[in-house]
Amino acid sequence: MNRMNKAVLVINALVVFAAALSLFSATASRGSADAPELQNRAIFGPGDVKHGYESADYTTSTLDLLNRIGKEAELIKFAEQPPLGLPPVPVPADNPLTAKKILLGRKLFFDRRLSINNTFSCAMCHIPEQGFTNNELETAVGVEGRSGKRNTPTIYNVAYFGKIFHDGRESTLEQQVWAPFLARNEMANPSIGYVINKINAIDEYDGLFEEVFHGRGPTMETIGMALASYQRTLNAADSPFDRWYYGKEKNAVSDQVKRGFRLFTGKGACSSCHLVQKEHALFTDDRLHNTGLGYEVSMGRDSGTTRVQLAPGIFTELENSVINSVSRFEKNDLGLYEVTEDPNDRWKFRTPSLRNVALTAPYMHNGSFHTLREVLDFYNRGGIPNELLSPLIRPLNLTDSEIEDLLAFLRSLTGGNVPILVTDAFAAPIGDVSKDDPDWTHKNKLKY
Amino acid sequence: MKKMSKLHARWIQGSLASLCVLLASVVGFQSAAIADETCMSPYMAKIVGQEDYVYIWTLGKEGVGDGQDKLVTVSVNPESPHYGKVVNVLSVGGRNEAHHSGLTDDRRYLFAGGLDTNKIFIFDVHSNPSKPSLHKVITDFVEKTGGMVGPHTMYALPGRIMVSALSNNKDHGGRTGLAEFTNEGEFVAAHWMPTDEDMRGAVKVGNIADGYGYDVRVLPRRNVMVTSSFTGWSNYMMDFGKMLGDAEAMKRFGNTVVVWDLHTRKPKKVFEVPGSPLEIRCAWGSQNNYCFTTTALTSQIWLIHEDDAGEWHAQSVGAIGDPSQVPLPVDISITADDKGLWVQTFMDGKTRHFDISDPFNPKQTYEHVIGSQVNMTSQSWDGKRMYFTSSLLGNWDKTGDQDEQFFKLFEWNGKELVQKFAIDFYAENLGRPHQMRFGAYSLYGQKPNSKGTMLSQRVE
């Protein structure tokens, strides 16, 4: 990445931040009467602010963890009456939403004890103020630091997706939760029974499942149902775009955003995959495509060196052989092929929704693009040619100003209720080990 | 009241030991009479004479032995029949990312932290110095501290252990703080690092107040505590090569040193020290009001010093190797006379000796390759013995043939390092050796039995 792109990142981030500030002030109650701006900043990105880190003049504006302010929200309303621009939320007949079930799901979501060594909750990767993804890593890191090869996807609006994960291998939220619970490079629980035993052994959960599930305790099914219910409420829309396009508020967005939308559905053909319907938009076709990015990572030649930042304004070019001497990381990722083993499915990845995309950097399945500008430049070039490249990917011949218009449009997709969802998450208790919890050194030991 | 008396007794014991050190220096026979490690807390009792054991806090590695973290005890007294041998192994369950350890001021207990699981294992090293036992485990570090993650340095204060953390439970990033425990392992207080949003009374000297943490050291004479800054859980636990290739992750390193008021535990000044300053070593001399640190990524030696007006400053005073090649300075060790600084560089496996007689102008005088990788060192007080271990972090160590894992003793004759013995920690099915601490019978009025050890699981 060159310095020019980094400069764009900074500008983008500032614009997003400014937009987010205006959104928050319009839709949410103030978290802190004497420092509302700081509270707003705490909601729309890492509190460890690194804007401008490329420059030797980098100046911190670090937020303090002790000053976070949480406020519980009535989450169920975001599922019962989704924000403007979203369709009705599909809810399985056998897992109806209730306020208590959502609250239980939220408790599980933030409980770090639900991993083999008590270090990982769902929220350690899906970080609320970072777009329920992780802005600080290209690809995820799990228990014991084990490498994930994919970027943490946001879970905003995941209620609507029929294909879950970058390779689309799962179909329901209730089932999906067990993959990270059990994956060795995520939460690394050794078995389903282990998770259930542990919840049973933590006093705080006494009676909670039974109350929510009519006498049923924690089981593979009820744990999945509770977590799915929380996630099903994280619907973020009512963005400036929604208020203009669906709400018919003429001045909800700028002329640049409107031009960007015309390009999005016209010359740019972005909406071929990122669908926009008449009454609502999910900005995804829920399908998988080969854009060439996965192909490049798997089949591209080693460039020989990597530019590494050492400190603000200080970079060096390191031989890849040096980097490889301290690495066990396998980058190759074949996407849908890893599910179907059909060679025609190599390097196909799921189309992500573009809602809230300004909050979910870095981008693509491997987080290799750090700015939306880089993403648009990639598609403008027509992706990366390979024998399986999707026919929908082709050079777009967009001008610089057209790309800027598209960027403005993408930045208009941040949900107006994001601050409510994030401050609600801040109010959730983080489950850390106490002396009463199960551990081999405690009186309370897991029963085996 | 009883406890207080005990504490007093220990304090007197420590003070007497320190006095011995001072007297020995004055009459000029320190090399014959004085041992112990430099770089320890000045509040700690000192070992008088030869150390008997080195306790090595060792990372478990999957596929090696029992795969879990352990405290390994090696006999290092040349008069012992087990000299250079492992005499005890105490496994503690799990791979906790064993990293640093520290003795209480009375040296009866060794606190050893797990950067991953946040457990702190407290070992009894006084009942039988040859066979430490697990006295207590602090499992609720994160809960008690209000969200700190990654207990790192365990540093002795009077009746207290100050723990510097590396991360937090909200985003696994670098914002963190210090936590204070009693010698019994009871939580006392949390002291969060200053951030721009809450400087906690400190002044930001440069452009940066990142809130990151790493090491902690004190200069009691000046009522000063100094902390440095590394990186959060996501980075220190991550595959090293993956991290170097992740431009976002590489922005998440600390760039600060903080000078605190030791007594009030309030931060006073936040200095900009770019490139992740790690270990801090403060001078021992009564007029030497300074500490050194080295930056891991930018490979610089920094001097944190007090001027005549009592103001503290931080300045870069020299480079280590070729910074563009990122030799990665890791552990450092100051000599007892404040004239020498040993610096280990992980990537080239070297130790380098700098003459710091003029602390503003360090000069490298010697270097030696210890192995394919090297990290920690412990230096005896007389400067004659240098112990080295190899492991940096579980996912940062080298791969393949370069992943040597050893504990080595060298003798320093003033001109060169001469290896005395080495233990291959993979061949012994132990794992990856990290930090070392010294033990001795003399601290507790004990002597070894005729077999050269009081009790042992592993007598060869």
| pLDDT higher than threshold 80 for residue A79 | yes
pLDDT in tens, B7-52: 343 333 434 344 333 333 333 333 333 446 778 899 998 887 799 9
Q: What is the pLDDT of residue A352?
A: 98
| pLDDT higher than threshold 70 for residue B274 | yes
Closest residue in B to A121 (Cα–Cα) = B169
Contact B398, B56 (CB under 8 A): no
Inter-chain CB proximity A65 and B168 less than 8 Å? yes
Q: Nearest CA to CA, how far is A436 from chain B (Å)?
A: 10
Inter-chain CB proximity B238 and A145 less than 8 Å? yes
Per mean pLDDT, which range of A28-37, A426-435, B419-428, B441-450 is the poorest? A28-37
Residues A255 and A212 in one domain: no
Average pLDDT over residues A265-285: 98
Task: Report if residue B455 sits inside a domain.
Answer: no
Task: Report if residue A174 sits inside a domain.
Answer: yes
Inter-chain CB proximity A48 and B173 less than 8 Å? yes
Chain A residues with CB under 8 Å of B166 CB are none
Q: What is the pLDDT of residue A24?
A: 39
Inter-chain CB proximity B139 and A430 less than 8 Å? no
Task: Report if residue B460 sits inside a domain.
Answer: no
Average pLDDT over residues A182-208: 98
| pLDDT higher than threshold 60 for residue B265 | yes
Closest residue in B to A331 (Cα–Cα) = B242
Average pLDDT over residues A280-302: 96
Chain A residues with CB under 8 Å of B173 CB are 46, 48, 136
Partner-chain residue, chosen from A67, A112, A137, that has the shortest CB–CB distance to B249: A137
Task: Report if residue A67 sits inside a domain.
Answer: yes
Residue A365 has phi, psi (to 5 degrees) of -60, -20
Q: What is the pLDDT of residue B25?
A: 35
Output the average pLDDT for chain A.
92
Task: Report if residue B404 sits inside a domain.
Answer: yes
Instruction: Please indicate whether residue A26 or residue A263 has the higher confidence score (pLDDT).
Output: A263
- Residue A327: name the closest of B236, B239, B403, B392 by CA: B239
Contact B53, B87 (CB under 8 A): yes
ipTM, two decimals, is: 0.92
Q: Nearest CA to CA, how far is B117 from chain A (Å)?
A: 6
Instruction: Tell me the CA distances in angstroms from B66 to A134, B63, B169, one per residue in order.
Output: 34, 8, 29
pLDDT bracket for residue B453 (50, 70, 90): low
Chain B residues with CB under 8 Å of A112 CB are 142, 169
Which tokens hold the place of A50? 């690194």
Residues A261 and A336 in one domain: yes
According to the 3-state scheme, what is the secondary structure of chain B? CHHHHHHHHHHHHHHHHHHHHHHHHHHCCHHHHCCCECCCCCCCCCCCCCCCEEEEEEECCCCCCCCCCEEEEEECCCCCCCCCCEEEEEECCCCCCEEEEEECCCCCEEEEEECCCCCEEEEECCCCCCCCEEEEEECCHHHHHCCEEEEEEEEEECCEEEEEEEEECCCCCCCCEEEEEECCCCEEEEEECCECCCCCCCEECCCCCECCCCCEEEEHHHCEEEECCCECHHHHCCCHHHHHCCCCHHHCECCEEEEEECCCCEEEEEEECCCCEEEEEECCCCCCCEEEEEECCCCEEEEEEECCCCCEEEEEEEECCCHHHCCCEEEEEECCCCCEEEEEECCCCEEEEEECCCCCCCEEEEEEECCCCCCCEEEECCCCEEEEECCCCCCCCCCHHHCCCEEEEEEECCCCEEEEEEEECCCCCCCEEEEEEEECHHHHCCCCCCCCCCCCCCCC
Residues A267 and A399 in one domain: yes
Residues A270 and A407 in one domain: yes
Average pLDDT over residues B376-388: 95
Closest residue in A to B170 (Cα–Cα) = A124
Task: Report if residue A447 sits inside a domain.
Answer: no
How many domains is chain B partitioned into structurally?
1
Inter-chain CB proximity A367 and B198 less than 8 Å? no
Inter-chain CB proximity B249 and A138 less than 8 Å? yes
Task: Report if residue B459 sits inside a domain.
Answer: no
Residues A255 and A230 in one domain: no
Q: Nearest CA to CA, how far is B370 from chain A (Å)?
A: 18
Partner-chain residue, chosen from A118, A130, A370, that has the shortest CB–CB distance to B117: A118
Inter-chain CB proximity A60 and B209 less than 8 Å? yes
Which CATH number covers residue A272? Answer: 1.10.760.10
Inter-chain CB proximity B117 and A130 less than 8 Å? no
Chain A residues with CB under 8 Å of B208 CB are 58-60, 312
Q: Nearest CA to CA, how far is B439 from chain A (Å)?
A: 26
Residue by residue, DSSP assigns A145-203 as GPBPSSPPPP-TTGGG-SSBSTT--B--HHHHTHHHHH-TTTT--S-HHHHHHHHHH-G
Q: What is the pLDDT of residue A255?
A: 98
Closest residue in B to A440 (Cα–Cα) = B93
Which CATH number covers residue B131? Answer: 2.130.10.10
Q: What is the pLDDT of residue A35?
A: 60
Residues A267 and A199 in one domain: no
Q: What is the pLDDT of residue A42?
A: 85
Q: What is the pLDDT of residue A40?
A: 79
End-of-domain residue from the set A71, A105, A128: A71
Task: Report if residue A149 sits inside a domain.
Answer: yes
Residues A403 and A270 in one domain: yes
Q: Nearest CA to CA, how far is A52 from chain B (Å)?
A: 10
Which tokens hold the place of B173? 């990033």
Average pLDDT over residues B425-429: 98
Partner-chain residue, chosen from A58, A325, A370, that has the shortest CB–CB distance to B247: A370
Residues A40 and A114 in one domain: no
Residues A185 and A203 in one domain: yes
Q: Nearest CA to CA, how far is A211 from chain B (Å)?
A: 27
Chain A residues with CB under 8 Å of B233 CB are 119
Task: Report if residue A317 sits inside a domain.
Answer: no
Residues A40 and A65 in one domain: yes
Closest residue in B to A319 (Cα–Cα) = B325
Q: What is the pLDDT of residue B449?
A: 77
pLDDT bracket for residue B163 (50, 70, 90): very high
pLDDT in tens, B206-245: 999 999 999 999 999 999 999 999 999 999 999 999 999 9
Q: What is the pLDDT of residue B452?
A: 61
Range of the domain at A120: 72-238+415-434
| pLDDT higher than threshold 50 for residue A383 | yes
Positive or negative, the CA dihedral A146, A150, A154, A158 is negative
State whether residue A383 is helix, strand or coil.
coil
Interface A-B: count of C-beta contacts within 8 A: 216
End-of-domain residue from the set A21, A55, A71: A71
Residues A176 and A140 in one domain: yes
Task: Report if residue A211 sits inside a domain.
Answer: yes
How many domains is chain A partitioned into structurally?
3
Inter-chain CB proximity B246 and A441 less than 8 Å? no
| pLDDT higher than threshold 80 for residue A8 | no
Task: Report if residue A446 sits inside a domain.
Answer: no
Q: What is the pLDDT of residue B454?
A: 53
Q: What is the pLDDT of residue A10?
A: 40
Task: Report if residue B19 sits inside a domain.
Answer: yes
Q: What is the pLDDT of residue B36?
A: 61
Partner-chain residue, chosen from A57, A119, A430, that has the shortest CB–CB distance to B117: A119
pLDDT in tens, B57-100: 999 999 999 999 999 999 999 999 999 999 999 999 999 999 99
Range of the domain at B185: 2-444
Per mean pLDDT, which range of A151-165, A199-213, B24-38, B273-287 is the poorest? B24-38
Task: Report if residue A307 sits inside a domain.
Answer: no
Chain B residues with CB under 8 Å of A118 CB are 117-118
Chain B residues with CB under 8 Å of A314 CB are 274-275, 297-298
Residues A138 and A196 in one domain: yes
Q: What is the pLDDT of residue B38?
A: 74
Which tokens hold the place of A311? 């400190």
Q: Could you tell me the pTM of the whole model?
A: 0.92
Chain B residues with CB under 8 Å of A323 CB are 241, 244-245
Q: What is the pLDDT of residue B445?
A: 86
Average pLDDT over residues A37-43: 79
* Chain A interface disruption, residue of B68, B144, B239, B273, most A CBs within 10 A: B239
User: Residue B305 forms beta bridges with which residues?
Assistant: B290, B313
